[in-house]
Amino acid sequence: MPQVAALFRYPVKGFTPESPDRLTVQRDGRVAGDRVLAFRFADAATPEDRDGLDYWPKAKGLSLQDFPALAALRLAYDDAALRIRIAHDGAELVEAGLDPQGRQRITRAVTEFVLDSREGSRLERPGRLPLALVGDGVRSRFQDRPRGFVSVHGRASVAALGVAAGVPLDDRRFRSNIVIEGLEPWHELEWSGRVRIGEVVFRTAGPIVRCLATHANPDTGVRDAPVLTTLTRSLGQREPTLGRLLLPHEPAPARGAAPRSEPLGTIRVGDEVEIL
């Protein structure tokens, strides 16, 4: 039977993932501790949203899609102490908490790194500086879509894509929450109805159409794999797709209701995956 091979959560949107042995899925469809912080461009907030905490698309802040050099940074987040440590090539760039002074130090270090990277000129475009580190470090807020989802892909699909591209690929390029082994390549794209993973029953949502973030090498931050064109030209997909989205199999919150961040269930490495 297929089972969970790896789990990931991304405390800061666009930065290094954590690889825990378990994840908590919330009733709002998000993973606890996932994308609880983000670096927002200066022009991303609206007059009604001065803190930038409502949903905004990744084009409004630092993301691997436009700033692949971020993949070369190594970020560790202590969610108990609310502290971030960022390193590059083994050297610490900054370590600080989420108090106002700490946020300033973290933001300054990240800004300097990006400005000195290959994509530095992109950050200098009108409306992007100064960056703001937004989020309280606890609430999961900054997924790529307004609705919370859990993302999943099969390890065999990544292997098949790597063969087609002629480039070794690994799961980290695709930034999913759950990686499954024991499936045939692309089988997860055929799922419909309900799926049980560990303690949680999901209903299948749409497939994940990929962006240029997948071209970034997760170690070097260099775009070195033609993922999108391989999916469409070599593998014949209409849109470059790998992996899919899942939602908890229970009624969604009423429109206008506050998101439900209470725990729904736990998923662990080694848990079985069952198509219901």
Residue 256: pLDDT band (50, 70, 90) is: low
Residues 6+ apart with CB under 8 A from 184: 154, 156
Which numeric CATH code is attached to 3-30+144-275? 2.40.33.20
- Do the strands 178-181 and 3-7 form a parallel or antiparallel pair, or are they unpaired? antiparallel
Residue 255: pLDDT band (50, 70, 90) is: low
Residues 6+ apart with CB under 8 A from 182: 1, 2, 3, 273
Write the pLDDT tens digit of every residue in 148-171: 899 999 999 999 999 999 999 999
Distance from C-alpha of 241 to C-alpha of 228, rounded to nearest angstrom:
8
Domain spans of the chain? Answer: 3-30+144-275, 38-134
- Cut 0.75: pTM above it: yes
Write the pLDDT tens digit of every residue in 102-132: 999 999 999 999 999 999 999 999 999 999 9
Residue 249: pLDDT band (50, 70, 90) is: confident
Annotate 49-59 with b (16+ C-beta within 10 A) or e (fewer).
Answer: eeebbeebebe
Residues 123, 129, 135: CA angle, nearest 5 degrees? 105
Partners of residue 18 on adjacent β-strands:
9
Place of tokens 């999943």: 152
Write the pLDDT tens digit of every residue in 14-54: 999 999 999 999 998 999 999 999 999 998 866 555 555 56
